[in-house]
Structure 1
């Protein structure tokens, strides 16, 4: 592993409870992490989640798109593993989500090669899910690509809000991050979801945005975790790169190959 020869500061925008892996990797390269979450995940026991739990024994598939949805269910329903029927199959997007599903004893039957909604839909093309009842707990701010794609395949999808993705109530760290970007005190920045990028621009003032885009595109190495986040950055006219495999580890390796 090649260590950074000069002091390198890498901004991490993912939620506080998700920063440990990124921080560890940044420090292993001899760089300094600057933690400034632009996103907060709030676990919620909504009416739609209660409805999903009531139908747990009837599910043919249960899809988890992030570890947070698993954490939420088991926080509010610790015996959830006993509620789902033994024939219910579990699909997860990403190895971290798979690991958490296994930790809670759910097991995993399907993990797509590409860690996106599109990748999971591609995997389901090989499976007959016509008339299947599929539970999909997630944040409602997520894209509609997955539920709409599953319904086109003939499945009945129960969409349940298991957590909220919100801008942190305390935005001081985000404001400091914007200031550091504008004053060229950051060498690289990582975005692990579309909302981590969108929220940064929501906090920035209209006067700051043009220079923010300029710095992120030309002076700072901007790295997205995958093509969906990269597409969001492009919407703001920010140039970024992303790895072939959409994980934090691969994102960080790409960053330090290009810094």
Structure 2
């Protein structure tokens, strides 16, 4: 992305630390100045249900992944006992980023919705899966209930398996306090998930700060994060129409290009 559309703009990145680099690179390629305060930390969840799912994996007709983290956490556990290539179940993913991580394990997605949200994945799955088939859905503890509920309505058996949990990093509060104390202005606050929005609100509440970046624009990766931000009384200025970090960067750039025309 060779452009200076974000030249001089200070952008706050709230993604998990180990996932932020590609986003930061794109901000800086567009001329922006990035600041990172991770508001997400992902931790594996070990359980008897996970052990049972891996032991009886061939009883499932489909594996459904709703996030890249779901792929990583599940397949890393699976690799300890089997080769990923031994999976016989067909695989559905929510979007291209999740598909890309799947590819890292030498696996291909059999099903991908046109839009990268649970609503579209539910519709796509119900048109490709027949009643009586069994689905294993490895995902995070904060996953939306819409997808398994819609599939169960269609007579599809769903094993909803929590394999990781999303928490607010313990250092986030001190990082925010120090950053606010520095007086650095922020032009855009970015949220790539509803969890990041919730943790942002949680940290500000604990710090007893209402508007730390009064003039900052709020940018969300898609309508779900936007809805959560609105619920926390944040005024969302930018929402990506393609629900990826590339789509979010493009939306921010478009916003500032349009602003210059006014």
Structure 2 length-normalised TM: 0.88
Indicate the RMSD between aligned Cα atoms, in angstroms: 1.9
| More deviation, 57-66/165-174 | 165-174
Match of 1:254 in 2: 251
CA contact (8 A) 1:45 1:76 kept: no
Is the counterpart of residue 81 in structure 1 residue 84 in structure 2?
A: yes
CA contact (8 A) 1:191 1:229 kept: yes
Partners of 2:180 and 2:222 lie apart in 1 by 22
- Offset of residue 98 of structure 1: 0.4
Structure 2 matches for 1:50-199, cutoff 5 A?
50-78=51-79, 79-85=82-88, 88-171=89-172, 172-177=174-179, 185-199=185-199
Partners of 1:114 and 1:5 lie apart in 2 by 27
Q: Deviations over 1:76-96 (max 9, x none)?
A: 2212525532xx210011111
Match of 2:202 in 1: 202
Partners of 1:256 and 1:189 lie apart in 2 by 14
- Offset of residue 177 of structure 1: 4.9
CA 1:80/1:132 → structure 2, altered by over 3 Å: closer, same or farther? farther
Q: Deviations over 1:183-223 (max 9, x none)?
A: 561111110110000001111136412x35x82xxx21211
CA 1:77/1:22 → structure 2, altered by over 3 Å: closer, same or farther? same
Match of 1:28 in 2: 29
Residue ranges of structure 1 left out of the alignment (5+ in a row): none
Partners of 1:142 and 1:177 lie apart in 2 by 30
- Offset of residue 6 of structure 1: 4.9
CA contact (8 A) 2:6 2:27 kept: no
CA contact (8 A) 1:190 1:224 kept: yes
CA contact (8 A) 2:85 2:106 kept: no
Q: Secondary structure at the match of 2:186?
A: coil
Q: Deviations over 1:157-187 (max 9, x none)?
A: 111111110110222224345557xx56111
Residue ranges of structure 2 left out of the alignment (5+ in a row): 257-262
Structure 1 length-normalised TM: 0.89
Matched residues, number: 250
CA contact (8 A) 2:95 2:116 kept: yes
Partners of 1:157 and 1:179 lie apart in 2 by 48
